[in-house]
Each structure stands twice: as C-alpha cells, then as structure tokens.
Structure 1
Amino acid sequence: MKRFLYFKERIRSFSYAFQGVRTLFSETPNARIHLVIIALVIVLGFWLHISRMEWIAVCILFGVVPATEALNSAIEKLADFACGGRIHPSIKKAKDLAAAAVLLTAIASVVAGALIFLPKLIELFVE
C-alpha cells in the first residue's frame, strides 16, 4: 500500500510540474518568445543538418533558458506577493538578480547558436 501511495504522489508531482509549464507559457510573454525561438532553431537545425553534439548543446539550452525564465517568474510572483505592491530595495534586488539569470542564459544561448549556426550559414551563402 505504501508503494502505491508513493507512486501516486510521484504522478501527482508531475501533474503540478506540467501545470507550472502551462502557467509559464500562458502567463509569461517572454517564455512564449523563447518557445518561438526554440521552434525556429529546431527548423534551422534540421535544415542545416547540425551534428549530434550540436543538437545536444542546443537541447540543453532549450531546457536551461525556459527553466531560468520559470524561476524568474516564480521569484517575481513571490516577491510581489510578499511586498504587497510596495517594492522594498531588497525585493527589487532579488527580482533584478532573477531577471539577470534569464538574461545571462539567453546571452549564452545566442553565443552558442552563433557558434553552431553562423559557420554553416556562411558556408551555405558565401560559396
């Protein structure tokens, strides 16, 4: 019986996580932008025949950027709730740091994308 309850709780925890994913993409405009970019990168990756290792790098970034966006959104929601609309300097710092995490992962993704895709695009259009 304990095992059954354990698995039931694990399944329930997945449902909470999927609800969080739905909330992220339905309520966070930047997350929807990330999703569009992910779709474009997938199309570009197939078109340019990127290698298995390049796909691995791209897929990791497909997870990291939305994950940091989710953490940023969670911190913002908690901070806004905690301060009741009045932004304390510490709350502002926490929100700014969370936003910085998203910015840094997005910049890393752009750099990685440039390293992967630019040589292939240059080769395709220059020769």
Structure 2
Amino acid sequence: MPKESFFKNRIKSVGYALKGMFLLLRTESSIQIQFVIALVVTAFGFYFEISQTEWTIQLLAIGLVMGVEGINTAVEKICDYIQPNLDPKIGLIKDISAGAVMIVSIIASIVGLIIYVPKIF
C-alpha cells in the first residue's frame, strides 16, 4: 500500500482535529460554558477597545483554558475506558487533571481582571 502524501495526511489530521473540536463543543458542558465566557469576554474586548497586546494576551488565556479543558476531558474519557468502576487511583488522576484546568482558569480570570477592571472603573 503506497504511503499517503504529506499534504493529504495534514488535511486528514486537520479534519480529525476539527471533528474533535466540534465534538467537545457539542457534548461537554464545561467547554460550552467556557465558550460562552469567551464570547462575552470577546464582546467586552470590542466594547472597551482593548489594545493589540491585550487582545493577544486575552486570546492566549482563552485558548489555554479551552485547550487544557479539552485535554482534561480526554484524560477523563481514557480513565473511564480503562477503569469504568470507582477506583481511588483513577480518581486521583482525574482530580489532578481537573486541578490543571483550575490553575489555568484562575490565571485567565486574573488576566481578565487586569485588563478590564481599570477600564470599568
């Protein structure tokens, strides 16, 4: 069987990634909530006319939170597949993964406060 070209392989990879992104948005409530928050914060960005640097930092924060949440979801799905029953070790893995989301969410919230509190007050 001949090897696929690099270009065809990349197109397939992008297709799989888009499928995964839309699957996350359709099925995971935590991503849906974060997506709504991202839309609200983006609207604030336009309303308050934030700078190019602020846009960059805001978009990085949004991407980081949603990306880590996606990884957390994948870790949880793998854990559930490997061990569908309650297991303290699996619970620890899930807690650590959720903790990573909490860390980036707190930092992203602080970034939002740094950008918007001076503009609001």
Shorter-chain TM band:
over 0.9
| Structure 2 stretches lacking a partner, 5+ long | none
Instruction: Please state how far the C-alpha of 1:62 moved relative to its aligned partner.
Output: 1.7
What does residue 85 of structure 2 align with?
86
Instruction: Please state how far the C-alpha of 1:90 moved relative to its aligned partner.
Output: 1.4
Rg larger in structure: 1
Instruction: Please state how far the C-alpha of 1:13 moved relative to its aligned partner.
Output: 0.5
Instruction: Please state how far the C-alpha of 1:88 moved relative to its aligned partner.
Output: 1.8
Q: Which amino acid is the alignment partner of residue 120 of structure 2? A: L
Identity of aligned residues (%): 32
Instruction: Please state how far the C-alpha of 1:108 moved relative to its aligned partner.
Output: 0.7
**After TM superposition, which residue ranges in structure 1, 4 or more long, deviate above 6 angstroms?**
none
Corresponding pairs, count? 120
What does residue 33 of structure 1 align with?
33
Q: Which amino acid is the alignment partner of residue 57 of structure 1? A: I
Q: Deviations over 1:68-88 (max 9, x none)?
A: 1100000000000100x2122
What does residue 96 of structure 1 align with?
95
Measure the CA separation in 2 of the matches of 1:31 and 1:14.
20
Q: Deviations over 1:24-53 (max 9, x none)?
A: 111110100011011101110111111111
Cα RMSD, aligned residues only: 1.4
